[in-house]
Amino acid sequence: MRWFLTVLGVIFGIVVFLFLDYTLPAKQTVRITNTYNRLTDIGANAIFYASPDTGTVQNAQGQRDVRFIDTVRPNGKPYVYRNEDTGWIWPPYFKYDSSNLHAQATDLRSTSANPEWVSVTSYGWRIAWLSIYPNAIAIKPVAGPEVKPFNWAAQIILLILGALLFLIWRMWNQFRERTIDPAVRSADEAWDRIDARADAARASARGRLRRGWDWLRGR
């Protein structure tokens, strides 16, 4: 039983980590090489795209016209972002300026001969075999490939989540101390009273039996 709970806890921890890793904003310094939109097949990987009712057009075959931003990282490896509105619920970025972001990205395109480095804020993962792309949130020009702005947003969100967790923990402790423990104690006492009464009843019953028995034997 112990090992089962341990495995369950580890799995839960991994799920929470992956969830935060996917949803929290990440920053990366890259060079934009191209921006375009492409009719994209969206099938089983749909949860890694915007929910359909956020202004994206989807045709009868389940294809969507998605904007993409091609980039190259300082180490020379490619990295592709999508650029979609997030809509009003999840993840709670409330992004609806993807057209503006695309205009800005197109403006900041550069070649390897004359590179122009930008810091892209995004959430999500790039997994090639699933055809999923992180969603770009903001683009800011930076001085060079070694400039890596600090990710304030993610730190603040983590701090707030930690504070909420702490609050819930304190609330639970207070609830246990003031409500559950006294209830358990009073139930215990009630049980003890019932027990004591039962003992007394049993003792007096035994006394009566004994007396009856004695009387039968003529003592």
Partner 1 sequence: MIAFLRLIGMVLIVELIFYLLIGIYIRSLRREELEEEWDRRHPERAGPSPERAEFVRRSMVGFSKTLQARLVGLVLVLPVVAIIVIIVIVNYN
Q: Which of 26, 46, 138, 154 binds partner 1 (CB under 8 A)?
A: 138
Asked whether 119 and 143 are in contact (CB, 8 A), the reply is: no
For residue 141, cis peptide bond before it (omega within 30 degrees of 0)? no
Report d(CA 145, CA 73) in Å as an integer: 8
Residue 3: helix, strand or coil by DSSP? Answer: helix
Asked whether 135 and 48 are in contact (CB, 8 A), the reply is: no
Closer to partner 1 by CB, 152 or 213: give it: 152
Closer to partner 1 by CB, 75 or 100: give it: 100
Q: Is 92 in the site for partner 1 (CB under 8 A)?
A: yes
Q: Which of 7, 57, 103, 171 binds partner 1 (CB under 8 A)?
A: 171
Write phi, then psi, for 108 (nearest 5 degrees): -95, 15
What six digits make up the tokens of 39? 């009719």
Write phi, then psi, for 122 (nearest 5 degrees): -155, 165
Q: Is 13 in the site for partner 1 (CB under 8 A)?
A: no
Closer to partner 1 by CB, 130 or 167: give it: 167
Q: Is 93 in the site for partner 1 (CB under 8 A)?
A: yes
Stretch that binds partner 1, among 12-20, 28-36, 96-104, 194-202 (CB under 8 A): 96-104
Residues in the site for partner 1, rule: CB under 8 A?
53-54, 87-89, 92-97, 100, 137-138, 153, 167, 170-171, 174-175, 178
